[in-house]
Amino acid sequence: MYTSYIGKKFLKIYNEKMNTEISAEEFFDRIFFNLFFNDERHLIHVSNSPFFQKPKDEDVKKYGSKALAQYNNLKVAMTCDEPNMSIFVGYAAKDVAGTTSGQISDMQTSIDTDEMYASWIGEALAIGVSGGFAMLLDEPDILWQLFCGWEYYRKYLNQTPNVKDKQIET
């Protein structure tokens, strides 16, 4: 999937610039989750993902917050479920019964969790064009600048309550 390709490409850039060797999952755990989802106002919307679903009350109590419960639900789904668009951004729907079933695939591929985490990073590096079409760029300098802008969008969103959330690509 192109989203994971971009996520991996960005991680290579990040690791070179920061002199680290972190995986997509480590990046998600250390940086991405806190910036994008550890707040009521998310920076990105991934349809049908655990961050789109209301967690069980007992999970919220167990993990200490709604965001942490959703985060745990994502981690469990990535470990236990077949890859699908709710946990592997840009991938096929989970089954033919869903409203997005036109995107279902019977391709047999080997996908690990790091590939899935990379897809989230790649999606967050997309740029909205023409009223909603998200374009993924493959230029290292642009990917780095988009990443650098994430913290500013979070800060702006926190300071400006009337600005819509889940709009990182726009």
Instruction: Report if residue 73 sits inside a domain.
Output: yes
Q: What's the rounded Cα separation, in Å, for the pair 120 and 90?
A: 9
Instruction: Report if residue 164 sits inside a domain.
Output: no
pLDDT, position 97: 56
Instruction: Report if residue 150 sits inside a domain.
Output: yes
Instruction: Report if residue 86 sits inside a domain.
Output: yes
The larger pLDDT score, comparing residue 124 to residue 83, is at 124
Residue 83 DSSP code? P
pLDDT, position 101: 45
Q: How far is CA 46 from the centre of its chain?
A: 7
pLDDT, one tens digit per residue, over 28-71 is 999 999 998 898 888 888 777 778 888 899 999 999 999 999 89
Asked whether the beta carbons of 89 and 123 are under 8 A apart, the reply is: yes
pLDDT, position 148: 95
Instruction: Report if residue 166 sits inside a domain.
Output: no
pLDDT, position 152: 92
Instruction: Report if residue 170 sits inside a domain.
Output: no
The larger pLDDT score, comparing residue 26 to residue 53, is at 26
pLDDT, position 132: 62
Q: How far is CA 96 from the centre of its chain?
A: 23
Q: What's the rounded Cα separation, in Å, for the pair 155 and 167?
A: 13
Instruction: Report if residue 168 sits inside a domain.
Output: no
Say which amino acid occupies 170: T
Number of domains in the chain: 1
* Number of neighbours of residue 35 by Cβ within 10 angstroms: 18
In this structure, what token pair is assigned to residue 55?
A: 């967690």
Q: What's the rounded Cα separation, in Å, for the pair 40 and 142?
A: 28
Instruction: Report if residue 125 sits inside a domain.
Output: yes
Q: Which domain holds residue 23?
A: 2-159
Cα-based distances in Å from 106 to 24, 60, 103, 152: 26, 35, 10, 40
pLDDT, one tens digit per residue, over 106-160 is 555 667 778 778 888 988 888 877 666 566 677 899 999 999 999 999 999 999 8
pLDDT, position 81: 66
What is the mean pLDDT of the segment spanning 101-105? Answer: 50
